Structures are given as C-alpha cells and as structure tokens.
Chain A
Amino acid sequence: MTDTAYMLVVIAAVALATFATRALPFIFFSRREPPQLLSTIEKNLPPMILLLLVIYCLKDVQWLEPPYGVPEIFTIAVVSALHIWRRNAMLSIFAGTGLYMLLVQLIF
C-alpha cells in the first residue's frame, strides 16, 4: 500500500471509530433505558483512561539515566498546580507545554 492510501485508510478508520462512539447511544438507547452495570462503569472509565493516557505519555522516559524524568515530572507538577489554582485549561496546557519545551531545549 502506498503512503497516501495507508493514510486515507487510517483516517477513514479513525473517523468511523470516532463517529461510532458518538452515535452508539442514539442507536441503542433511543427506545429503552441504559442498563445499570453500564452506567456504573461509565462513571469510572473516563477518569481511569485519562490518567492512563498521562502515564502513556511517560512510556519512553528513561528513569534510570539523566535527567531521570525530571523535566516530565516537574512539568506535570506545574501543570497540575496551575490547573488546580486557576481551572483554566488553555492556560495550564500551553504554559505547561511552553515550560517543557524550554526545559528540554535549553536546560536538559
């Protein structure tokens, strides 16, 4: 498969998967009540997946070699503190990203 064809197949698959998650409740629960087990898992799955995604972002960090994951842990601490303080998602995300870029480009 060429690179272009591969990209288009990937985009189509991701687009369909995304639409499926958004359309599912309208398809299945338009005429009946959602089951109880689903609603209890529903509450707990998103926070779990999001924290797993944070951990996933640290998967390539070499903890036993310099700089021992210091830029990553420090930036995450700053983003968390900033977000708990101001609750401004854009400020937390972009200030944190800027800080991390400065750290890895200029200091470490």
Chain B
Amino acid sequence: MTHESEKLLFSAFKTTLPVLFGYIPLGMAFGLLLAGAGYHWIYALVMSIFIYTGAGQFIAVALLAAGAQLMEFITVTLLINLRHSFYGLSLLDKFSGVGKVKPYLMFALTDETYALLTTTTVPEGASKARFYFYISALDHLYWIAGSVLGAVLGSMLRLNLEGLTFVLAALFVVLTIEQYYASRARFPFVAAISAGVLSLLLFSPDNMLLLSIVIGTFILIMYERTIKGKNSEPSSSDSAPREELL
C-alpha cells in the first residue's frame, strides 16, 4: 500500500471511530441474540457479511424465532429497509463517477455510513471513490467483528439473556425520536399509533406488523390525498397557514 493510500485509510479510520464504538456493541447484541436463539456463530458471520443491516438483522432473528414464512421475511425486510431507498436518492450525484466500487457502496449504505458519507468531505487531492470505499468497508468490518464476537461469547458463556431482546425496542424508540427531530412531522406517529393499536386488537401478534404497516401506509396516503386536494383548490390563498400547522 502506498503512503498516499495509507494516509487516506487512516483519515477514513478517524472518520469512522464513532461508528466503531457503536457497531461493536450493537453487533455483539445481535450476535448474542442469535446465539441465544440457538444458532451457530457462523450464521452471525454470514448474515453480517451478506445482509448487513442493523434493525433488519434483529428483526430477522425475531422472525426466525416466530417461525415466519419466507414471504414474511422478504416483505418485512423490504418495508423496514425502504428508508435506504431514500438515502440513495440524495446520493445519486455523489456516487456518480466512483467507478467499479459503486455496487459495494450501494450495498453498504447503512444509516451510519450514509450519515458519514453525507457529512464528511473527501481530503484534498484524494480519490473520492477510494475514500468512500474505505469508510464503507471499515464500518462493514466493525459490524462483522461485533456480531461474530457477540455470537461466540454467547455460545461459550451461559449468560442469562432474559430481557436482552429489549435492545430492539430501545433501538426503535431511539430511531423514532431521531425521526421526529429530523422531520418534526406529527402525522406519521398518529398514523402509526392508530394502525398499531387497531392491528393489536384485530390481528394475531405474529401478523400485526405487516398488516399495521399496510394500514398505516393507507392512512398516510389518504391523508396526503386530502391535504393535496385542499391545497390544489383554486381558492387556496389560505392554504399556507394550514400547511404550517402540519
């Protein structure tokens, strides 16, 4: 490795330090959870190499434990990771001209890597493709290392893991609060609570996630349509204050 790329790798490493401290324990929690569900650590390695999504892998363990159907795995994964599609939308420009590493950059686009790529500037004179690749690959390595470490420890030690799955609920609570800070929109939460409570009352616990997402999306679309309809009326001079209320 040349001196130049060594310097760039070190610069990328410094950039990814917060992700290192986040991914090792979170990966370990995933590994512990998978080991606790009775799976060999090799599955933690394979999943973290080829799937590589925090919330998605946690949910996959929950679905495995619930004995879900293949279509449920696919649908739930698509819906949970749909947010990643919108990350890509804002990176279309940044990722143009990165060459052959582009498929990997697309694959490795987690919440944290997205945050780093969108907030860090490429060092003067350095290759954008190489810098982005180092950041993405380092984050990926931390995740793999954490999950394997957790899975191995989990299978060696007889730990009392009762309650560990709550790391999931805590993760989602934190991400929900972050979503609120990011958009300040209140209606998605109204839609979620309506759809969630309705689904808990009407459907079996195993089916409620998928059905509540479908109901919630329907509520969101109906709401958007109503607002859109109001705003597109010819006499919509008073629609501006109404928009601010949202």
Which residues of chain A have a CB within 8 Å of any CB of chain B?
7-15, 17-26, 29-30, 34, 37, 40-60, 72, 75-76, 79-80, 83-84, 89-90, 92-94, 96-97, 100-105
**Cβ of B101 under 8 Å from chain A:** no
Mask for B17-36, Cβ within 8 A of A = 1, else 0?
00001100110010000000
Contact of B166 among A24, A50, A97 (CB under 8 A): A97
On whether the beta carbons of B82 and A21 are closer than 8 Å, the reply is: yes
Which candidate, B48-56, B126-134, B235-243, is the interface stretch facing chain A?
A: B48-56
A93 touches B26 (CB 8 A): yes
Whole-angstrom CA separation of A94 from B103 in the bound complex: 33
| Nearest opposing residue in chain B for A96, CB measure | B170
A57 CA to B159 CA, complexed, in Å: 22
CA distance A23 to B52 in the complex (A): 14
- Given contacts A7-B39, A47-B179, whether A22 and B81 have CB atoms under 8 Å apart is yes
B70→A52 contact, CB < 8 A: no
CB pair B162 A105 closer than 8 Å: yes
Q: Is the CB of B216 within 8 A of A52?
A: yes
A-B pairs, top 8 by smallest CB distance, nearest first, are A25-B88, A55-B196, A101-B163, A51-B192, A47-B179, A57-B169, A17-B77, A96-B170
Instruction: Verify A97–B173 contact, CB threshold 8 A.
Output: no
Interface size on B, residues (CB 8 A): 83
Residue in B25, B92, B171, B209 whose CB lies within 8 Å of A29: B92
CA distance in complex: A104, B165 (Å): 12
What residues of chain B have their CB less than 8 Å away from a CB belonging to chain A? 21-22, 25-26, 29, 39, 43, 46-47, 50-53, 55-57, 59-60, 64, 70, 73-74, 77-89, 92, 95, 102-103, 106-107, 109, 160, 162-164, 166-180, 183, 185, 187-189, 191-193, 195-197, 200, 205, 208-209, 212-213, 216-217, 220-221, 224
Bound-complex Cα distance A13 to B224 (A) = 32
For B178, give the chain A residue with the smallest CB separation.
A89
B196/A52 in contact, CB under 8 A? yes
| A44 nearest CB across to chain B (Å) | 4
- Among B57, B82, B88, B183, point to the contact of A49 (Cβ < 8 A): B82
Other-chain residue from A10, A42, A102 in contact with B70 (beta carbon distance below 8 A) = A10
